[in-house]
Structure 1
Amino acid sequence: MALEWTESPAGIDWEELSALYKIALGDKPAAELAIVFANSRYCCFVRAHGRIVGAGRALADGLDTSYLCDIAVMPEYQGTGLGKHIVARLVALSHGHKKILLYAVPGKEPFYRRFGFKRMATAMALFDNEPLARERGFLADEPP
């Protein structure tokens, strides 16, 4: 399979990318994707036959922390190693940071463990839609 890789958001069709996320991760409007990718230090886009089949990004400060996020692969390309290559590329781009973070879709944690990611005991988050985050399994029940 001939894949075309780019790390630049220049020329990305944000509607096309939004369609990928809608299938793979959930609704991410095109206008919002344009903003978050423009504000990300590292980006990764993969095309096959001219169409976006995978993407991911990392927010990073250049020294202390890089946060991998929005890693998505079209369902027909899942299981081909494409997701693994996107994560590996973002981890390589993040090399030199003191820590590389991510949070996984519930159930996908074993995929990231293969890269050496470990579960954090103290990770916490604020979500603008807490009921949806809870429904999707991103929030654990608080201890009594």
Structure 2
Amino acid sequence: MNINYYSDRIPAAEQVIALYDLAGLPRPTNDPARIQRMIDNSDLIVTAWDGDLLVGVSRAITDWVWSCYLADLAVHPHYQQKGIGKQLVNLTKEKVSEQSMVLLLSVPSAMEYYPRIGMEKLDNAFLINRKPWQ
């Protein structure tokens, strides 16, 4: 398995939707236009590819010097536990520099994953939630 990582290869919305659905990431994948807007409005997308197959994605919003919100991290289930997610996070951090923190909100099923890759669990977040999607 030869995984290649890119920060300049932006996947099509259909590829992202397929990956999110396979990875079980709760995103509005029934709304391709919304997924496309999510991609278009991201500041940094780091991807992992096995040939032409998108196997991982890190999607972030950042100011590049203070904060980076890691909005999505997804890895194809057949490629999990191979270090791809950790590498996507590391490359995201490398791209936004040491000046910037990387913050994310985890889905409940991944709460145990992030400390294993070196992320610190916090208890000081607040939320105004979005309207639920259909």
* TM-score for both structures, normalised by structure 2: 0.83
Contact kept? 1:7, 1:44, Cα under 8 Å: yes
Residue segments in structure 1 that go unaligned for 5+ positions in a row? 131-144
Q: Is residue 6 from structure 1 mapped to residue 9 from structure 2 by the alignment? A: no
Q: Distance in 1 between matches of 2:40 and 2:9?
A: 7
- Sequence identity of aligned pairs in percent? 27
Matching residue of 2:32: 30
Structure of greater relative contact order (alpha carbons < 8 Å, 6+ residues apart): 2
Structure with greater Cα Rg: 1
Q: Is residue 122 from structure 1 mapped to residue 121 from structure 2 by the alignment? A: no
Contact kept? 2:64, 2:100, Cα under 8 Å: no
Q: Distance in 2 between matches of 1:117 and 1:85?
A: 13
Matching residue of 1:58: 60
User: Which has the larger displacement, 16-25 or 93-102?
Assistant: 93-102
Question: Number of aligned pairs?
Answer: 131
Q: Distance in 1 between matches of 2:6 and 2:118?
A: 25
Residue segments in structure 2 that go unaligned for 5+ positions in a row? none
Task: Trace 1:1-144 onto structure 2 (pairs within 5 A).
Answer: 1-10=1-10, 12-24=11-23, 25-26=25-26, 27-28=28-29, 29-129=31-131
User: Which has the larger displacement, 56-65 or 1-10?
Assistant: 1-10
Superposed CA RMSD in Å reads 2.3
Are residues 107 and 14 of structure 1, via their aligned partners in 2, closer, same or farther at CA, if it must alter by over 3 Å? closer
Q: Distance in 1 between matches of 2:8 and 2:100?
A: 24
Q: Distance in 1 between matches of 2:22 and 2:2?
A: 22
How far 1:61 sits from its partner (Å)? 0.8
